[in-house]
Structure 1
Amino acid sequence: MVVVIGIFGGVVGFGAGWFGRLVLGAARRGVVAPRWWCEVGVGVLWAVVAVRVAGGMPWWWAGVPLVVGWGGVLLSVCDIRAYRLPDVFTLPAYPVALLLVGVASVHQPGVWAGAIGGGLLFGGVYLLVRVVQPAAMGPGDVKLAGSLGLVVGAVSVGAVLAVIAAAALGTLVAASRWGRGAIPHGPAALVPAWLVTAFAPWP
């Protein structure tokens, strides 16, 4: 039964990735993504979430890793291809994140404190880096950080610190491997954020 649920989640995710690839190509300052990148990426992540739900993840939390996975794949593809995180995705992420946390808060009212604290912490740290060292942090990364902080902070503020550290480490590793050229930071933040929402103890 779990396998069937996982396959179903993967198929639905494949369709969501296909739709996302079309949106990414039509969006202002978007990119034309290579065929199957979005479809396979979202399909795999949604299959994992489906299996997690079958294993006991609360339905009211499942929307968080589903949305983070969908948006994370699209933004990662855009950042890898064009070294930017467009406003058309990063700005709407705030009301979506607030909505997801709001749904979770109906069942766990305490998530709001962590979500707000996480949003301020994640966004504040990235904004500080942007102000002190503009070349080290793009404006899109700063805009994305606040919304990621909301959903990761709903798990715990400590998780936000872990994601920030993992993102910094991932970027440093990428820079050491590919040299001093432009390094997309978005994927380094999005991957650990999704892992936290999908695998850490939900609130």
Structure 2
Amino acid sequence: MRRIVVKLGGSTAYHAEMREWVRVLAEAPAPLVIVPGGGPFANRVREAQAQMGFSDASAHFMAILAMEQMALALLDMNERFLPARTVEEIDAALARGASPVWLPSQMCYAAADIAQSWDVTSDSLAAWLAGRVDAEALLLIKQTDTFEAQVDIGGLVAAGFVDPLLPTMLPSTTELYLAGPGSLATVSQRLAAGGMPGTEFAARAAERGAA
């Protein structure tokens, strides 16, 4: 079965849908790698930066630690989730039939190809990880379905659904999907059948129309 990276958006943190996403992802037969968003923990970093005036580079690494805080919360929600800090630990968790939840600081601190700014969010980091683990698909879970009005990745960037660096960090061999609360009713069936929930987005509108 093809490997899938799933970014569970921090925007879901205080909503009932989050636990439902956790349940269906933990039960999925497909090999899933879970990437946490920063959620409320990243918001505290933004607030602190406004008050304290530290650099975007420092805020970037603090936001990565915010993702790790969210990861710890997710790990507490399902016993099939296992922590993973490296590609080797991701592979080992998948080999055990578990779903690794990525704690990104170890890999990201040493990565020269990741910009140290707010232009890089957990969406782009999930895309970056997809390239490291040879994922065939990247699924971004949002707390909205309004992205469906967009026709390509450029539109997603312009509308603020993904960060501006995602198009360059997403491997050309990795398909991009977005899913919101409206996808929850069918996500289990789609994953069980080898499909993907949500809406697929190509790099250009023409590519999506030809798919």
| The structure with more helix, counted as a fraction of residues | 1
Larger relative CO (CA 8 A, sep 6+): 1 or 2?
2
Please classify the TM superposition score into its range, dividing by the shorter chain length. 0.3 to 0.5
Question: What TM-score results when the alignment is normalised by the length of structure 1?
Answer: 0.34
Question: What TM-score results when the alignment is normalised by the length of structure 2?
Answer: 0.33
